[in-house]
Amino acid sequence: MPIVHNVDFVELAGYTSDETGGTPAIRFLKDLDAPIEGRDVLIVEDVVDTGLTLHYLVKTFRLRSPRSLAAVTLLDRPYRRLVDDLPVRYVGFTVPDEFFIGYGFDIDEKYRNLPDLHVLV
């Protein structure tokens, strides 16, 4: 990117428990290291599917008062959305409901190193 920027990472985990009544919930395993108040924030996602994780992240980040908040995803499945109003501004590819490997996507930690995307058959 030819602009001054910072890169930071979060790690989220989905879980169900007796406390949530068996309903899926999301929690932070690692939060941002830097504050985002007053900053333009671009969330980079690999796949946006149901949108539940991105929705949780957007709600959490909006409480921190960024100047702007948008998302980019390599793969998008908008027909699987369970939530509306996601700020997905940039989409690489809208893909069918298939499982992809390669280019960083894996199954059981295998095939992540393939140089391009493949549909797992």
Which position among 8, 49, 76, 97 bears the catalytic label? 49
Closest CA to 102 of 121, 88, 83, 89: 121
For 32, the 3-state DSSP assignment is coil
**Which amino acid is present at 68?**
S
* Rounded distance between C-alpha atoms, residue 98 and residue 14, angstroms: 21
116 is catalytic: no
CA 45 to the chain's CA centroid: 4
The residues annotated as belonging to the active site are 49
